[in-house]
């Protein structure tokens, strides 16, 4: 049995009733094998980044403890995405559900299949705000503090909806 690790997952949806999608995903995350859901952030509404014209996103994040390996956890997340009708179209295109493995313990992982910390973590307000809800004192493997990152990112375009 692997040692328990604290992992943070980012959730995003901008299709097919995003709030329902996030609630379903939270239920599925609470039922992940070999894992325990510890905390859920507020839900935020943010304009889509990435160039394509598409609806606003709802974003959130969760903190969980798991004995799954990082890759096993990623595959479980992809399974949940598929169960919620995710069709992989254009990169950064609209989606019913996107689950990103943001952090996995203190580990840095750089493979084709998995990059941890998730490359978007440092600059995206829709990742940083939910992470601050979960663990304001968090420091990334690079040594950067979450609160310092939050101070650098815009709060203008993000609002809490639940």
Residues near ligand A4P, by CB under 6 A: 12, 46-50, 57, 59, 74, 88, 91-92, 98, 100-101, 113-116, 118, 120, 126
Please name every residue paired with 101 in a beta bridge, in sequence order, or none if there are none.
9
75, 100, 124, 133: the active-site residue: 100
Q: Which does 147 bind (CB under 5 to 8 A by kind): ligand A4P, Mg ion, none?
A: none
10 Å Cβ neighbour count for 91?
8
Q: Is 124 a catalytic residue?
A: no
Give the β-pairing of 98-104 and 57-66.
unpaired
Q: Is 88 a catalytic residue?
A: no
Q: Least Å distance between CB 74 and ligand A4P?
A: 6
Residue 76, C-beta contacts closer than 8 angstroms, at least 6 positions apart: 32, 33, 68
Encoded tokens for 18: 């995003």
Encoded tokens for 128: 């940083």
State which residue, 84 or 98, has the beta carbon closest to Mg ion.
Answer: 98
88, 95, 124, 133: the active-site residue: 95
Return the C-alpha torsion angle 34, 39, 45, 47, nearest 10. Answer: -60
State which residue, 36 or 92, has the beta carbon closest to Mg ion.
Answer: 92
Q: Least Å distance between CB 6 and Mg ion?
A: 20
Q: Is 98 a catalytic residue?
A: yes
Instruction: Cite the active site residues.
Output: 86, 95, 98, 100
């Amino acid at each position: 049995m692997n040692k328990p690790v604290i992992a943070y997952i980012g959730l995003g949806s901008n299709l097919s009733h995003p709030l329902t999608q996030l609630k379903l995903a939270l239920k599925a995350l609470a039922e992940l094998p070999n894992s325990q859901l510890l905390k859920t952030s507020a839900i935020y509404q943010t304009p889509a980044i990435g160039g394509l014209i598409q609806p606003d996103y709802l974003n959130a994040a969760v903190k969980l403890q798991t004995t799954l390996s990082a890759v096993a956890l990623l595959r479980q997340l992809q399974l949940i995405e598929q169960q919620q009708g995710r069709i992989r179209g254009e990169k950064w295109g609209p989606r019913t559900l996107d689950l990103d493995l943001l952090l996995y313990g203190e580990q840095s992982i750089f493979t084709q299949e998995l990059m941890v910390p998730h490359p978007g973590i440092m600059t995206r307000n829709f990742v940083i705000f939910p992470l601050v809800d979960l663990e304001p004192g968090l420091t990334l493997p690079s040594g950067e503090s979450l609160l310092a990152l939050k101070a650098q990112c815009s709060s203008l375009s993000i609002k809490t909806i639940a």
